[in-house]
Structure 1
Amino acid sequence: MKTAILTLSTLAFLGTTTFAETKPNIPAKEASQIFKAAGFSKTKHGWEGSCDTGEITTYKDFNGDGLKDAVISDYSTMCYGNTGVGYHIVAQQKTGNWKLIFENMGVPTFLKTKGKDGWPDIENGGPGFCFTIYRWNGQKYDVNRYEYNGKACTLND
């Protein structure tokens, strides 16, 4: 029964709008730079990270600075446990280079609330009923609060 609930929870999260977006059309050279910035290597099977083959699931300007940002998702229960999903957020810099700014296990949902420099808060979804919200502090994403359905919670809830 526990396995069925975890499987259904994971499938429900994979069906969220974060993963329901159409696959972005990214020039091959740019995609290559994005994957390399996140530490992925090109193989005959695609771009592989330390867990599995990744795919760019989101490609847009997250913080309104006029530069593109990307989310690379990869899937592995060996690396990511019951959640089965990991993500890597890569931001284009003013120089044109790409930089990894955050990576985590879970399903990222970008919220309307914002941290420094216009970066959206990230709800880190996965199995459970209380999720970590990360906020950009100008240098990195740090834990800001815990929420479930937009309401404060504690990890013990």
Structure 2
Amino acid sequence: MAAPTGVVSTTAPSAAATTQRAAPSTDAAIFLAAGFKRRGNTWRSDCDDPGTATYTPGAIESRSDINGDGRPDAIVTEGGTYCYGNTGTAFWIVSQQSDGRWTLVTRQTGIAEFLKTRGLNGWPDLLVGGPGFCFPVLRWNGSAYMPNRKEYQGKPCK
């Protein structure tokens, strides 16, 4: 998939974001907020992949201050075509609250790509990528990421 114009990668946070890392001891809280359960040595969602060759267990893909509120946010991923079709991956965004709790912001099947445009409370618009050429862009409305438009390589599409 070609990266759309204006995308901020989820795997390369800005210099300011890298200084706001969550402590490794918060890993369990991050996974639990995303709805994952520990099974043996791995974290798994409710997808219940029976062990297919394409399955990859839950992982904390990145930690950064996504919305600029001074607190860490995290992106959790899980992969496999059994659960996520041709896209082969899903992501969960969780955010640490002022009281230290982690809460789920959104969960989507696809690849998270943050755009420079922003919704309420500093949350960046979220392009949900995958196979194809015209991707949904979601915007934070203060309580949820909602459909806003479709884009491909930074240009509107249908």
The share of aligned pairs that are identical, in percent, is 45
Distance in 2 between the 1:113 and 1:35 partners? Answer: 28
Q: Which of 104, 111, 130 does residue 107 from structure 1 map onto?
A: 111
Report the CA distance between 1:131 and its aligned residue: 0.3
Q: In the alignment, which residue of structure 2 is the partner of 1:91?
A: 95
Q: Name the structure 2 match of 1:77.
A: 81
2:22·2:72 contact (CA, 8 Å) conserved in 1?
Answer: no
RMSD (Å) for aligned C-alpha atoms:
2.1
> Separation in 2 of the partners of 1:75 and 1:103?
13
| Aligned-pair CA distance for 1:17 | 4.4
The one-letter amino acid of 2:144's match is K
Instruction: Return the TM-score normalized by structure 2.
Output: 0.81
> Any stretches of 5+ residues in structure 1 without a counterpart?
1-8
SS, match of residue 53 in structure 1:
strand
Give, in whole Å, the separation in 1 of the partners of 2:12 and 2:118. Answer: 23
Give the CA deviation at 1:28.
Answer: 3.7
Q: TM-score, normalised by structure 1?
A: 0.82
Aligned residues: 140
Q: Say which structure is richer in helix.
A: 1
Q: Does structure 2 conserve the Cα–Cα contact (< 8 Å) formed by 1:40 and 1:50?
A: yes
Q: Distance in 1 between matches of 2:87 and 2:116?
A: 24
Contact 1:34 1:90 in 2 (8 A): yes
Compared CA separation, residues 112 and 20, structure 1 to 2 (3 A): closer
